[in-house]
A and B are shown apart, each in its own frame.
Chain A
């Protein structure tokens, strides 16, 4: 089991979650180090129209810059980008963000699979992805792609996730992976800071 990135350097972190993931994010964010030197992309399923709410909630819990992702914006270290409701988020070669209003994937837009896959093709073995609580299988295919490119796969412990289905599917189908309880996640993420 790969315990760390093969190159030891994290160039981007993507966190995907659905039902039950908000509590985890609210738990993680206050403990994130201000020294985080890679961009964090957040893809969560939620209803269109409540965009600013999640951004505001997280903003108040960290001194990292949290913003809803803008189209063609460049990913910067120490910034948190939230995939806007109703758009898929993709990453370009030059590390800018593309938004895409194409068909839903796994009944979801934004889809976690889409962002995991796109980020994996760009950041390859310097990518870390975390899949949190949720009740559908979005994210599982994406994690397979992350593994294919030698990125690092972290999954919330299904036994302690409020919705076990999504992380459990990932645990069953994606190998290798690391299972983490939510209270350990912030520490793990801070440990990805590189010199």
Chain B
């Protein structure tokens, strides 16, 4: 019922999200914000624009990391990007980029392979406020130790701290990295394909969608991916069971598929 309100009043469709996850997010927010009653909570979501902004921010999951799953980034570095490097121009879509950690990780890889200047990373998310954060390229200092370890495990050999400057509790990543990023809102549920890419990264987004919606999004990616382009998913996500999966070939043991 609440999600019907959200669709009618704000145009965001969460009806095909995994029920258990979204219910947990909603219950969590309801108790976090100490509403007197669920009806009041529902009314605020429906009518209060400011509160809806918070709702959107809180019920979508925005937990992410730099160089998460180091072996995945190693495979990008060694198997995927060198192939894309033979193209005159590289277009990459990071779908559901949240606060941008993966887009910045990717930019670092491209930079180290001397490909960043001919690349463009389109980083999109349903949620405008996380994109604002992503644009700034500032991340909490206390996470950087873990990110730096991930970076090394993924095959990075530079001094990770050369990519950012620390400023109190935040670090700011070098502007050369986000100079090649375009940030924009995009809703995987309702928005269409907007370009053709050679690499699409969408990691730990589809786990929140039900099977039907996952398949719709795979079709969207399929329409947005050049022949011989690559699609990268999260460590527990898979193209299996999707009708067109046979047109894709998996790369090594990673969750990376190449369109044939």
Contact = CB atoms under 8 A, between A and B. Distances in A.
Interface of A: 70-72, 84, 87, 90-93, 98-103, 114, 117-118, 122
Interface in B219-237: 234-237
Contact of A118 (B20, B207, B210, B238): B20
Nearest to A89: B20
Contacts of A72: 18, 210-211, 214
Nearest to B153: A49
List of 3 A-B pairs having minimum Cβ-Cβ separation, nearest first? A90-B20, A98-B18, A102-B61
Given A72-B211, A92-B18, A118-B20, A100 B61 contact: yes
Interface residues of B, number: 19
Given A72-B211, A114-B24, A118-B24, A101 B237 contact: no
A93 B22 CA distance: 13
Given A70-B236, A71-B236, A118-B24, A101 B204 contact: yes
B63 interface: yes
Contacts of B235: 84
Given A92-B18, A92-B19, A101-B63, A71 B207 contact: yes
Name, among B24, B211, B214, B234, the residue most crowded by chain A CB atoms within 10 Å (CB to CB).
B24
B24 A90 contact: yes
Contact of A101 (B19, B24, B25, B207): B207
B165 interface: no
Given A72-B214, A90-B18, A98-B18, 17 more contacts: A71-B238, A72-B18, A84-B236, A87-B207, A87-B236, A90-B21, A90-B24, A92-B18, A92-B19, A98-B19, A98-B207, A99-B236, A100-B21, A100-B24, A100-B208, A101-B234, A102-B21
A68 to B, nearest CB: 9
Interface in B121-170: none
Interface in B23-37: 24-25
A84 B214 CA distance: 20
11 contacts: A70-B236, A90-B18, A98-B18, A98-B19, A98-B208, A99-B236, A100-B24, A100-B207, A101-B207, A102-B21, A122-B20
Interface of B: 18-21, 24-25, 61, 63, 204, 207-208, 210-211, 214, 234-238
Given A99-B207, A101-B207, A102-B63, A71 B19 contact: no
Contacts of A90: 18, 20-21, 24
B236 A98 contact: no
A93 B235 CA distance: 24
A102 B18 contact: no
Given A71-B207, A84-B236, A98-B207, A91 B20 contact: yes
Name, among A70, A72, A103, A117, the residue most crowded by chain B CB atoms within 10 Å (CB to CB).
A72
